Amino acid sequence: MTLNLRIAIIGQSNFAADVLELLLERRNVEVVGVFTIPDKGSREDILATTASLHRIPVFKFASWRRKGIALPEVLEQYKSVGATLNVLPYCSQFIPMEVIDGAPLGSICYHPSILPRHRGASAISWTLIEGDEVAGFSIFWADDGLDTGPLLLQKQTVLEPTDTLDSIYKRFLYPEGIKSMGVAVDMVAAGTAPKIAQTEVGATYDPAMFKVENQMLNLQQPAANIWNFVRGLDSVPGAIATVIEQDGTEQQVRLFGAHLYSAGAPKAGRALRLKGLDKPAWVHEGGLLIEGTDGQFVNVRRLKRGAKMINASDWFKLEQVQQLQDFSEDELAKRELLSNIWQAILKLPIESNTDFFAAGAGSMDVVRLVEECKDAFDVPLENEHVFMAPVFEEFFVELVRALRQGSAGGAQQVSFEGFTLRANKREIPVPTQLFYGGEFVDAKNKQTLDIINPTDEQLLCKVACASKEDVDEAVKAAHTAFHGAWKQVSARQRGQLMLKLADLMEQHKEELATIESVDSGAVYTLALKTHIGMSIDAWRYFAGWCDKIQGNTIPVNPARPNNVLTFTRKEPIGVCGLITPWNYPLMMLSWKMAACIAAGNTCVIKPAQTCPLTALKFAELTVKAGFPPGVINVVPGMGSQAGQAVADHELVRKLGFTGSTPVGKHIMRSCANSNLKKCSLELGGKSPLIIFADCDLDKAIKHGMSSVFFNKGENCIAAGRLFVEDRIHDEFVRRVLKDLRTMTIGDPLNRSTAHGPQNHKAHFDKLLEFCDRGVQEGATLVYGGCRVPNLKGYFFTPTVFTNVEDHMFIAQEESFGPIMIISKFNGSDIDSVMQRANRTEYGLASGVFTKDISKALGFADRIEAGTVFINVYNKTDVAAPFGGFKQSGYGKDLGQEALNEYLKTKCVTIEY
């Protein structure tokens, strides 16, 4: 026969509240009273709150006895409920025997260990500290001893090497313990609950770990013992170690997130002295390495330094962070208002060291705190600010930091050395240092690059020139960010950062276009629309892809009777190296980097040696946008040094390159020889443009000129050779020359200018040689081929060659300049002109002008090029894939396909 039970629950916490909810489901159980701890300020324990919701009497006692004697008023209130069984799910108070024996059926108590081992208040901590192979809990009949009463039931689980105090509680002790408390009550009601006397064999009573003196970590022991001690106190309160600073002062820290470490001493790390440790500990990119007496290592991932939790790897970096102090009266008033907001949410008095989450806050409380702070202080905060600064004083400092930055322009500031560019009626501060790890720094060897203004051939500034050592530092920063802070940023948050960066680029587009014009010679209006405009478009386009990168489920053939689930994951590659050319400095950076970052990678970019300034100004904007340090790194330098170092580095897993075919071949060899890194190449071109007589001639002339002279001919998809049908050849040439004679050439900042200077002297000289070669081989130079007369700077006259034959150098090789190469063909011989168009090792782009749809689509079918333009030219879009065939390289920039260049596919198969 099952007894009807009148139960008194004595205890506290979520565990006790859940036991209460479970027992209320039983028809034979009436919970007649709940006895718990007093409120902390205005915040009551969850057990009391739950009991009140079910209209169960609640009693709150600060103490049950005084000087070892039960308080009469407490006993009277306990007896008033008439309980037949006491249930103690989780109880931190000492309950007198008058209460324990006050219920006719006695008292059952939950204890987190396999009794008799680990008696005492910190049993589960000692289960880990002692390195036990199993953990578990006991439900026993309380008596006048300390966890010594007869056993009712026990359960256990294998202790995993990855378990901590927190994890073993969440995965086993909590859920199984609640269910087992219900089972124990049922056994009592059924009269089947055993009373098994505890043996004293193997019995232990361990010290309480809530005492600070017991939390001190003994470093004079093997690594496994150090590891077990740290994980035994993980989550709370944390094992204590003492750091000895360089000046001899001591600072206590708490250690969290420990694991045994078998990779040996780090190659790169900084020594840190710990009191009681004979050898130095090492701060490295993975945390803090501590060597045990057995020569083995323990790695600690997180430290609590004062009230602030930090990554152990950031210990020395914090020395460089400027701490906020000397708060104004207004800021101190805001501190009081912030304290009131915290108190309203947490319902307890707020002190400097109040931890938001330790005080019981949940995810909805985070949202409420952020929104109330936005309303009260008009400051841009995100949920992440709460997680990174959960302690009140720490959160207040972050709030003040945000307020101060807001008054300076609403964005995070970054300091750098540079120069002020005074141009285009503007004064623009421009960085001239390397950028990695979130900071602008000088090159280690102090070497610099001379940056020449192509418009007047004058020295514009000197920019830091990265060495192999600088590239190594930048790659390590990217590697650390990829495996650290960047992994904590969700895909959607990544997209939001990219959109914020695009907005900043939009706000600064006139500055960026001005820098691009002065630094690379781009015509300002074109720089504004294309160089900068398409860069912004790229960041916004790929921002939309961040949370849409996904794999597939694949039907495979399982071995019956089992079933198999196979699916793929698209994952970021890691650290990506990017090497970009000088013709579109910011746009080429954005084409590659936006896809790279959207896919979840970090990157190191080596911009063109001759014009790195927009890349450096862009780096400044990434800080203001809030990108974590190390995600984006910019290392200007020479290709033979910095570029080679990026290609050779073993931590770089993908290289994206745009440049010449000979250099691309060298890059590909370096990628193979270093670590077989993934590689995508956008190389040279000799793009054919065929103009049939049946075309719209006005349109063909307009786009034909643009196909060659756009961006001064410094355009990878420029039409390197025009095939014009003989019936319109002369008229086409005549009208091209007419337009060229009226083209405005001059200062690229002048709004009426259509053609600016070539990028740099070496390229300018190469164009002169190219034209000389054409004349020597018999082509007809009908216009240009020389420097623009009476104009200082690298101004090259737009040039036209006719009567160009297939064997000539200028018919085969790319000029990468404003040189139109025209060959004639007969309209009846389409097969021949297609063969001539394909008779090149390049295959980047192509074009055709005709009103005949059959000719147009026939051309598209037969041409060997990655891009085909029909009755238009230079019409690219960030959503359309861009890349070439043959020796124009492989891989794609732009469009969805570009993401694949920066992703790897993992296949997962599960049998069930």
Among 711, 778, 775, residue whose Cα is nearest residue 786: 775
| Judgement on whether residues 621 and 500 belong to the same structural domain of the protein | yes
Between 55 and 370, whose confidence is greater? 55
Among 788, 787, 781, residue whose Cα is nearest residue 737: 781
**Average pLDDT in the 167-193 region?**
95
Does the annotation flag 609 for ligand binding?
A: yes
User: Which of 279, 314, 349 is the last residue in one of the domains?
Assistant: 314
**Which H or E run contains 508?**
none
Local confidence band at 110 (pLDDT 50, 70, 90 cut-offs): very high
Q: In which region does residue 637 sit, left (phi positive, over 0), alpha (psi from -120 to 50) or beta (all else)?
A: left
Distance CA 787, CA 797 (A): 6
- Taking 80 as the threshold, does the pLDDT of residue 669 lie above it? yes
Local confidence band at 412 (pLDDT 50, 70, 90 cut-offs): low
| Judgement on whether residues 222 and 172 belong to the same structural domain of the protein | no
Among 589, 612, 615, residue whose Cα is nearest residue 759: 612
User: Which of 359, 375, 406 is the last residue in one of the domains?
Assistant: 406
Are 428 and 406 a contacting pair, CB within 8 Å?
Answer: no
Does the annotation flag 93 for ligand binding?
A: yes
Distance CA 75, CA 762 (A): 97
| Judgement on whether residues 184 and 127 belong to the same structural domain of the protein | yes
CATH number of the domain that residue 579 is part of: 3.40.605.10
Q: Look at strands 799-802 and 780-783 and give their pairing.
A: antiparallel
Indicate the Cα dihedral angle 99, 105, 110, 113, nearest 10°. 110
- At 864-900, the pLDDT tens digits run 999 999 999 999 999 999 999 999 999 999 999 999 9
CATH number of the domain that residue 147 is part of: 3.40.50.170
pLDDT of the residue at 410: 42
Does the annotation flag 841 for ligand binding?
A: no
Q: Does any domain span residue 452?
A: no
| Judgement on whether residues 111 and 158 belong to the same structural domain of the protein | yes
- At 277-332, the pLDDT tens digits run 999 999 988 899 999 999 999 999 999 887 677 889 888 876 544 556 678 888 88
pLDDT of the residue at 425: 93
Q: Kindly provide the b/e burial profile for residues 411-424, where b requires at least 16 CB atoms within 10 angstroms of the residue's own CB.
A: bbebebebbebebb
pLDDT of the residue at 407: 44
Does the annotation flag 641 for ligand binding?
A: yes
Does the annotation flag 264 for ligand binding?
A: no
- At 762-809, the pLDDT tens digits run 999 999 999 999 999 999 999 999 999 999 999 999 999 999 999 999
Does the annotation flag 95 for ligand binding?
A: yes
CATH number of the domain that residue 289 is part of: 3.10.25.10
**Average pLDDT in the 684-690 region?**
97
Q: Does any domain span residue 901?
A: no
Active-site position among 373, 611, 716, 771: 716
Does the annotation flag 642 for ligand binding?
A: yes
**Average pLDDT in the 210-237 region?**
93
| Judgement on whether residues 723 and 831 belong to the same structural domain of the protein | yes
Does the annotation flag 262 for ligand binding?
A: no
| Judgement on whether residues 128 and 22 belong to the same structural domain of the protein | yes
Does the annotation flag 766 for ligand binding?
A: yes
User: Which of 406, 432, 448 is the last residue in one of the domains?
Assistant: 406
pTM for the model stands at: 0.76
Distance CA 225, CA 130 (A): 8
Among 247, 315, 256, 249, residue whose Cα is nearest residue 281: 315
Q: Look at strands 602-606 and 575-579 and give their pairing.
A: parallel
Are 758 and 714 a contacting pair, CB within 8 Å?
Answer: yes
Active-site position among 111, 259, 479, 531: 111
Q: Does any domain span residue 488?
A: yes
In angstroms and rounded to an integer, the radius of gyration of the C-alpha atoms of the chain is: 37
Does the annotation flag 814 for ligand binding?
A: yes
Q: Does any domain span residue 324?
A: no
- At 51-76, the pLDDT tens digits run 999 999 999 999 999 988 999 999 99
Residue linked to tokens 């709940």 = 34
How many CA atoms, within 13 angstroms, populate the side-chain half-sphere of residue 8?
27
Q: Kindly give, in sequence order, each residue whose CB lies less than 8 Å from that of residue 171, ignoring residues fewer than 6 positions away.
A: 163
State the maximum Cα–Cα separation within the chain, in Å, rounded to a whole number.
118
pLDDT of the residue at 237: 87
Q: How remote is the C-alpha of 155 from its chain's centroid? A: 42
Does the annotation flag 606 for ligand binding?
A: yes
Q: Does any domain span residue 221?
A: yes
- Among the listed ranges 159-173, 592-606, 645-659, which one has the minimum average pLDDT value? 159-173
Q: Does any domain span residue 205?
A: no
Q: Does any domain span residue 903?
A: no
Q: Does any domain span residue 247?
A: yes
Distance CA 78, CA 300 (A): 47
Share of the chain above pLDDT 90, in %: 81
Instruction: Confirm whether 465 is a catalytic residue.
Output: no
CATH number of the domain that residue 859 is part of: 3.40.309.10
Are 539 and 878 a contacting pair, CB within 8 Å?
Answer: no
Please give the tally of structural domains in the chain. Answer: 5
Between 327 and 504, whose confidence is greater? 504
Q: At what angle do helices 697-709 and 726-741 cross, to 10 degrees?
A: 60
- At 230-282, the pLDDT tens digits run 999 987 789 999 999 988 899 999 999 999 999 887 777 899 999 999 999 99
Among 772, 829, 827, 826, residue whose Cα is nearest residue 801: 772
- List 135's β-bridge partners, or say none: 157
pLDDT of the residue at 131: 95
- At 546-587, the pLDDT tens digits run 999 999 999 999 888 889 999 999 999 999 999 999 999 999
| Judgement on whether residues 216 and 72 belong to the same structural domain of the protein | no
Instruction: Confirm whether 373 is a catalytic residue.
Output: no
| Judgement on whether residues 216 and 254 belong to the same structural domain of the protein | yes
Does the annotation flag 630 for ligand binding?
A: no
Does the annotation flag 659 for ligand binding?
A: yes
| Judgement on whether residues 166 and 278 belong to the same structural domain of the protein | no
Does the annotation flag 629 for ligand binding?
A: no
Active-site position among 372, 682, 714, 864: 682
> If DSSP codes are grouped into helix, strand and coil, which group holds residue 398?
helix
| Judgement on whether residues 307 and 216 belong to the same structural domain of the protein | yes
Average pLDDT, the chain: 93
Burial of 558 (0-12, 13-18, 19+ CB in 10 A): middle
Domain that holds residue 624: 467-678
Distance CA 586, CA 582 (A): 9
pLDDT of the residue at 325: 63
Residue type, 758: Q
Instruction: Confirm whether 786 is a catalytic residue.
Output: no
| Judgement on whether residues 654 and 702 belong to the same structural domain of the protein | no
| Judgement on whether residues 50 and 140 belong to the same structural domain of the protein | yes
The 3-state secondary structure of 129-158, one letter per residue = HCCCCEEEEEEEECCCCCCCCCEEEEEEEE
